A and B are shown apart, each in its own frame.
Chain A
Amino acid sequence: MADAFVEFLRREASRTKVRRIGSALYIIEGERTERRYRLPTDFIDAILLRREPGEHVVVEKGLIRELRYRIDELESEVKRLRLRSRVLEALLATCIVALILSLFR
């Protein structure tokens, strides 16, 4: 290694807190700041983490397929739950009617 490079690495190491517990070595990371400058590919961050996207959003074909699959899955889940909700609503209505009738008897 070049001397200045060694010196640079040593300095960085001297600024780092290291803990040793048993045979394990723990390097304590510094605090990470929020990313300020976004690249065009921050699509997932923008959608899932509600982060401000960059000026242009580029999405790979594979990701589109994955998203479409997830959306289809969610839509079928919504359909299934809606059907179940309707059945339960009907059941509830029947129960209410039965309850009212039983009260009048």
Chain B
Amino acid sequence: MKGLKAYVKRLEDEVKRRFVGNEEAVHVLTLNLLHERSTALIRAPRGRGKSTLMLLFLRGIFGDDFVVISGASEIKRGEVIARLHIPSLEREGVERVIWSAFVKAPGKGIDEVNRLNPYTASNIYHLLQFGEVWAYGQRYVVGDFVLFANENPGDPTTFTHPPPFYDRFDVSVQLSALSLSEKFRLQKLTESYGSIVESMPQVIDFDTLREARREVAEVEVDVDLRALMNVLVRDLQACVRNRDISRVRPPALCEGCHFVHGVCSMVREGPSERATLVLLNLAKAKEWLDGSVTEDDIYRLAVYALAHRMELVRHDRGVEELERVLRRQRELNEERRARRQWAILERLYRGFSRDLYKLAKEIAVEDLVFAEELMKLEEEWLAKGLVRPEETIRQRLMLDGEL
């Protein structure tokens, strides 16, 4: 195990030796490598080293044996997925599919994802999610891979890809500009290395990385941290007015809502269930590679797991707004702990108590996630005749929240 860690740490070190600044982003990209079919999106304005960082990682793992497709050039389906072997079709009338190098290579890169045309992007959807592709009625199992992509969302020639496309990326990192001292370091680096990408050695091979991935998959994450991830994501998803299917979105949707003070009112579109899975993978990787993972780590990692898969009401503020929402959610969690609400729920799961139920209802009117769990219990109690429909929290929230 130590040997495998040393390989992964050396990969990170070699990348950091050549890539100035953005150390946390590099570490997150390294952690994200440690699970099957890892996909990472690097976002930045022009000239911040998006492609360089992508190539450094790919070279560090695959040497020269990787395939990069560029959204900037007019790539066709044949280059991304597959094409038909024309002689076989013409002479024998047989549809022989020739799968593209991009599909077959375990090391994949997509340069300028934002310039991929929607048709090409939709071909990549399935590959990212299930590790397989379909063309001309035939299926090719891609299996495990490493994929890095980059984009400049501010690019005027950008295609606006739909949210499900971005949701298929495990993490997104936003590269910041270099500080004054870092610019001096970059100049020194280019003078000493010449081509920074060319100087990157292959420090690990894909089989070794897969071995590391298998070990990481076995890592146990503490139930408190699992709860933290799940509560965090649920807080960002939950909406008493069914935001997911409503045509009106916050803040208009929140007008007059009982939960207008909640974190939910800051979210226009919540994250998918992939968010908790990605957070769990990152937590396992952090435990394996760094020896520990804490609550603070989960909140830091959440920025990278959520930024590209949800939309905030104040999205114009970018990552700063997401950090603000996460701070608010953290404060909410501290309040939950202080009022011992999960302990109250545990006692209610063990058996109905009218006093505790009354207390739980008071908590539920302030906390939608807690209210959801209490409502599930209420259904059982209603069936047993322990509570009356008019006294339930569901009834109260329907009246207050105009469900």
Contacts and interface: CB of A to CB of B under 8 A. Distances in A.
Interface of A: 1, 4-13, 15-16, 18, 24-25, 27-33, 35-37, 39, 41, 60
A11 B224 contact: yes
Given A25-B353, A30-B337, A31-B338, A16 B331 contact: no
A4 B226 contact: yes
B214 to A, nearest CB: 22
Contacts, number: 71
B349 interface: yes
A35 B342 CA distance: 21
13 contacts: A8-B226, A8-B227, A9-B345, A9-B349, A13-B347, A15-B343, A16-B343, A18-B343, A33-B331, A33-B334, A36-B327, A39-B265, A41-B260
A36 B338 contact: no
A26 B345 CA distance: 14
Contacts of B353: 25
Contacts of A31: 338
Given A30-B337, A32-B335, A10 B346 contact: yes
Interface in B109-141: none
Interface residues of B, number: 29
Contacts of B347: 13, 25
Interface in B314-338: 324, 327-328, 331, 334-335, 337-338
Interface string B207-230: 000000000000000011011000
Contacts of A11: 223-224
A60 B340 CA distance: 31
Contact of B342 (A12, A33, A60): A12
A41 B324 contact: no
B355 interface: yes
Nearest to B345: A9
Nearest to B266: A39
B142 interface: no
B338 A27 contact: no
Interface of B: 223-224, 226-227, 256, 260-261, 265, 324, 327-328, 331, 334-335, 337-340, 342-347, 349, 353, 355-356, 359
A61 B260 CA distance: 14
Contact of A16 (B223, B340, B349, B355): B340
Given A30-B337, A39-B328, A8 B261 contact: no
B328 A9 contact: no
Contacts of B328: 37, 39
B340 A29 contact: yes
A12 B226 CA distance: 13
A13 B327 contact: no
Given A24-B355, A25-B353, A8 B340 contact: no
Nearest to A16: B343
Contact of A37 (B256, B327, B345): B327
A90 to B, nearest CB: 51
B338 A13 contact: no
A105 to B, nearest CB: 71
A8 B331 contact: no
Nearest to A56: B314
A30 B331 contact: no
Contact of A32 (B265, B338, B342, B343): B338
Given A8-B227, A27-B340, A27-B359, 12 more contacts: A8-B224, A9-B346, A12-B343, A13-B342, A13-B343, A24-B355, A30-B337, A32-B334, A37-B327, A37-B328, A41-B260, A60-B256
